[in-house]
Chains A and B, each alone.
Chain A
Amino acid sequence: MKGMDENPLDLLPELLLAGAAVAGLLLGSWLPRRRQWAVVLLCALACLAAAAAAVVAAPGPATTAFDGAYALDPLTTTARLVLTGATLLVTVLSLRPLGGHPRESEYHVLVLLTAAGSLVLAGAQDILLLAAAYLLAGIPAYALAGFAKDGPGTEAALKYYVLGAIGGVVLLTGTTLLYAATGTTAYPRLAHAEAAPAALLTAGTLGVLGGLLFKSGAVPAHFWVPDAVQGSAPPVAALLTTLPKAGALTALFRLGAVPLAGSAVPWPALLATLAAASMTLGNLAALLQRDVRRLLAYSAVSQVGYLLMPVAVAGRTALAQPAFLYYVAAYALTNLGAFAVVCALPRATTTDRWRGLVGHRPLLAVSLAVCLLGLVGTPPTAVFLGKLQAFTALFDAGYGWLAVLAAANTVVSLFYYLRWLAPAFTPGAAPPTGGEDRLARGTAHTAAAASLALGLAAGPVLALLDGPPAH
C-alpha cells in the first residue's frame, strides 16, 4: 500500500490554501503598505482556485490519500467548497476594516491558515492528523481574535487561547489513550478494534470528542464563544463561528460514520444529549442578550446543537449524510450573511440601535430578515431544508424526541431573532451610520440571496451530497 497513494495532487485544494498563505506572508513582508492588496488578491485567488480544484476532483470515487490518512469523499468535497466559499466571504468582509492596516497581509494569511486547518480537520482520517489540524486551525485563529490589540480583543484572544489549549491537551490525551488501546490511530483500523479494552476506548473517544466540541463551540465547551465573538472584530467573529466549526463538525461526523459506526461506545446517545444541551442552553442564554454580536454568538451555540443532530445519527441512517452536509452549507452561508449585516453597520452594537433600518437601508433590512429568519428555519431559505432533512434523519434513526425538542427550541429562538428584527423594521431615525461598509452590505445581500437560492435549488444539491464516506 505504502507509496501508492501519495499523489500530492489529491490534496491540491489544501495545498493551494497553505501555499498561498506562505507566499502571501513572504510577499507581504516585501510589499509597501499601500500595495498589500496584492496579498489580498492572492488569497482570494487561492480560495477560488481551491474551490475549482475541489469541483474538478469531486466526481471521483470515495478514496483515501497518503496511506489512508486523508479522505477524499463527499464529506471532504463539501467541506472544501463550503470552507473556501466562507473564506472568500470573510476576506471580502475584511477588506474595508483592514484596508491599509499595517498588518493587512498577516491578517489575510492567518485567515487562509485557519481555513487550511479547518479543511484538514474535515478530511483527516487519522487521529494524529486530526490533532495537527486542530492546532493549525486554532493558533492562527487565536491571533486573529486579538488582532486589533485592544482590550476586548485581548480578552477574547486570551480566553479563546486558554480554552483552546485545554481542548488541545484533552484531544491529545484522547489520541494517546486510543493508541494505547488499539495500537493504531487510523480510522479504518480503529473501526475493527473489537479486542481493545472498552474503558480505555471510551476514555480516548471522549478525549477526542472533547477537543472537537471545543472547536465547534458546543456545550459544555462553549464558554469561549460569546466573549471571543463579541471581543474580536466582526469579520473575525464571522470566521470564528463558521470555519473551525464546519471543520470540527465534519470531523465528528466522520468519527461517527467510520470508526465508531459499530463501536460499543454509545456515540449516538452521547451526541444527541450534547445536541439537546447545546441548542437549549444556547437559546436560553441568547434570550437575554442585547448586543447583536453576543446574540449571534449564542445563536451559534444553539445552531451547533441543530448541526449535531445529523452528526449524532451518522452511520445509523442513510439520510444523515446529505442532511448534515446540506445543513453545514446552509448554516455557513446564513451565519455569514447575518455577520455581514453586522459588519455593514459596525456602530449599531445593540439591538435597539437598529431601529429605523428599513427606512434607511431597505435592502439591508430585507437581507437581515432573510438571514435571521433563515437561521430560525423559515422556508424557503436553505436552513429550513437542512432542518427538515435533519428531523427526517432523526425520526428515521429513532431519535424523534430530539427532533421534537429541536422544534420547541426553534420557537424559542424566534424570540431573540425577532427582538433584533422588530426594531429594524420599525420606522424611526436612522441607525448610527458611522463606518458604514458598502462591501459588507453587498456581501450581506449576496449571502441572503444565495441562502434563498440554495433553498430553492436543494434538489440537485442534495443529490450531489450523497455517496459513501471513505473507509
Chain B
Amino acid sequence: MLTVLVFAPAAVALVLLALPRTVPDAVHRTAWTVTSALLLAFTAALWAAHGTGGGYAYETRVRWMPSAGVGYHVGVDGLSLPLTVLTCVLFLACALYSWRERRRVRAHAALFLLLQTTCLGVFVSLDLILFFVFFDLSIVAMYFVIAGWGRDQAARAALTFFLYTFLGSLALLLGFIGLYLAASPHTFDMTDLTRADPLAGRPVAAGLVLLALGTGLAVKTPTVPFHTWLPLAHTQAPAAGSAILAGVLLKMGTYGFLRIAMPVLSEAWRRYALVVVVLGVVSVLYGALVALAQTDLKRMIAYTSVTHMGYIVLALGAAATATAPGDEDARALAVSGAVTQMVSHGLLTGALFLLAGALHERGRTYDLAAYSGVAARAPVLAAATAVAFFASLGLPGFSGFVAEFQIFTGSLGPRPVATCLSVLGILLTAALLLRAYQQVFLGPLRLPPAPGSPRAFPDLRRREAAAVLPLLALATLLGLAPRPLLDTVEPASGLVLEWLAR
C-alpha cells in the first residue's frame, strides 16, 4: 500500500520522461497535478482508515539485503501520517503554483514528482538504510531543482546546499553504522533497534553515535550553528522549490530526532537533553534577530524558519529533561506540540514562500524596500499575505498558536528559563513580520522600477490562489479544530515518550 504511494510519483515521472518531445507542455502539467491530487486523496484516505490507533499501520517488511542487515520496511503511525499528508498537500500546491512555469516544463514536473517520492519515502521508512537512501536522494533532487530553475547565483547556492546537507547526511550514515554494529544481531531496522536499545549502558559510544546523528539531523533541521546553507539556498531557489525545501525537507531533520534519536538513543538523549534545549533556544533567538535585520523577503522568511524549527528542537529537548513523576502531561504536550508545529510550519512557510514568489514574479525583486502600498493594487495578495504572516507569528485561531502554545506549556515546567527566552522569539517574529508587512503592503503605492513601460501588477491569479489559499485554510482549520490531528499524534508521541523514559 505504502509502496504504491511512495513509488507512484516516480513511476509517473519516468513515464513523462519517456514521452516523445512533441507532447505539449499542458500534458505534463496536467499529469503532474492529477498525480499530486490523487496522492493527496490516497494519503487522506489512509489517514481516515488508520484512525487514531497506536502502532504502525500498513506495514510491509521484506528481506532486502539480509547479509548487510538491511530490509525494506515501511509503515506509518501517528507521527508520520500527518507529515505524509502534509507532503502531499504541499506538492499539490506546488503543482498548481507551477502552471505558469515556462522553462523545461517536462523536466520540472518529473523532478518534482521524483522529489515527492523521496520525501514520502523518508517519512514511511522504518529501516535506517531505506531512510538514508530517500534522505540522500531528496538532496540530489533538490540540488537539481535549485540549480536548474533557480536565480542568477543558483549554481553556487545549489553547490553550497548539496555540500552542506551531504556532509550532514554522511554524519548521519556514520551514526547509523554505529547503531548497526552495536545491535546484536546487527540490524538497521528501526523497530528492532528501538526494542533492543543497543547502546544502553555504554555512555561513550552512545554519546558519539548521538553526536553523529545529531549533527546530521541538525544540519537538515537546521539549528544554529548549522543553518548557514539555508538562507542562500532559499534566496536562489525557485518559489516552489523553496516551499518544498522549507515545508517538507526541513521536517526530515526534526522527524529524524523524533523517530530515531529519541527512541533508540533514549539514555544519551536524556543525558544531553540540556544541550538540545540550548541549541533550540539559540536557534529561536538567533534566527529571529537575524531575520529582523534582513532586507530581502525570502531571506527573512528563511530565518524565521530557523526560529520556528528552534521551537521544535526546544520541545524535544525539554521533553527529555522532565524527570519528575508529575511531568508526564507536560512532556506529552511538548512532543505533540512539536509534531503540530512541524505540520503548521510546513503549511504556513509553504504558503509564505509561494506568496513571496508571486510578489517576485510581479516586481522582479525580493527587496522589501522596493515595494510600498501594494495592498492598493493587489488586495487579495495583501490579504493572503496578512493571514500567512499573522498565522506565522502565532496568533490564536491559527495552527501556529496551537503548536507554540503546546510547546511552551509543555516546556515551561521542566525548563522555565529557556522557555521564557524562547517566548521572546515570538515577540521578535511578530515585530519583524509586521514591519515587513507595513513596508510592502501599506503606505503610499510604490512599485519596483521597470525599464520601459510601467509593469502590470495584477492581483493574485486563480492558479496562485488555488495553490496558496487551501494552505492557509488548512492552517486556520488546524487552529480552530486541532483535535483530529492531536488524536492521531498523541498515541504515537506517547509511545516515543515511553521509549525515552526507559
Give A contacts to B, CB under 8 Å: 322, 358, 362, 373, 378-380, 384-385, 388-389, 391-392, 395-396, 403-404, 407-408, 410-411, 414-415, 418, 422, 425-427, 458-459, 462-463, 466
Contacts and interface: CB of A to CB of B under 8 A. Distances in A.
A389 B68 contact: yes
Contacts of B67: 322, 459, 462-463, 466
Given A388-B68, A388-B177, 7 more contacts: A322-B67, A378-B140, A379-B137, A391-B177, A392-B180, A459-B65, A462-B68
Give the dominant DSSP class at B's interface: helix
Contacts of A425: 144, 147-148
Contact of B136 (A378, A403, A415): A378
Contact of B159 (A396, A410, A422, A458): A422
Residue from A408, A458, A459, A463 with most neighbouring chain B CB atoms (10 Å): A459
B473 interface: no
B63 interface: yes
B174 A459 contact: no
A418 B68 contact: no
A380 B133 contact: yes
Interface in B443-496: none
Nearest to B164: A411
A382 to B, nearest CB: 12
Nearest to A456: B64
Interface stretch (B165-173, B262-270, B277-285, B288-296): B165-173
Contacts of A384: 133, 136
A461 to B, nearest CB: 9
Nearest to A460: B65
12 contacts: A362-B17, A385-B65, A388-B68, A395-B181, A407-B174, A410-B170, A411-B170, A414-B163, A425-B148, A426-B147, A458-B65, A463-B66
B104 interface: yes
A463 B64 CA distance: 11
Interface string B142-186: 001001100000010011001100110011011001101100000
A459 B68 contact: yes
Contacts of A389: 68
Interface string B60-85: 00011111101000000000000000
B167 A458 contact: no
A362 B129 CA distance: 30
B7 interface: no
A407 B181 contact: no
B163 A411 contact: yes
B132 interface: yes
Contact of A373 (B70, B140, B173): B140
A286 to B, nearest CB: 15
Contacts of A391: 173-174, 177
A418 B171 CA distance: 20
Contacts of B133: 379-380, 384
A422 B68 CA distance: 34
Interface residues of B, number: 34
Interface string B16-32: 01000000000000000
B140 A403 contact: no
B495 to A, nearest CB: 28
A107 B180 CA distance: 48
Residue from B63, B67, B155, B166 with most neighbouring chain A CB atoms (10 Å): B67
B217 to A, nearest CB: 16
Contacts of B158: 422
Contact of A411 (B17, B63, B166): B166
A456 to B, nearest CB: 9
A91 to B, nearest CB: 30
Contacts of B129: 379, 388
Which 6 pairs show the lowest CB-CB distances between chains A and B? A459-B65, A379-B133, A407-B170, A462-B67, A411-B167, A458-B65
Nearest to B168: A411
Contacts of A362: 17
Nearest to A464: B67
A379 B181 contact: no
Given A392-B177, A410-B170, A462-B67, A427 B140 contact: no
B210 to A, nearest CB: 15
Given A378-B140, A459-B66, A463-B66, A396 B181 contact: yes
B6 to A, nearest CB: 13
Contacts of A322: 67
Given A388-B129, A418-B159, A403 B68 contact: no
Contact of A392 (B136, B147, B148, B181): B181
A396 B177 CA distance: 10
Nearest to B148: A425
B118 to A, nearest CB: 10
Given A388-B129, A407-B171, A425-B148, A415 B177 contact: no
A378 B147 CA distance: 18
Contacts of B178: 395
Contacts of B104: 427
A385 B173 contact: no
Contacts of B166: 410-411, 414
Contacts of B180: 392
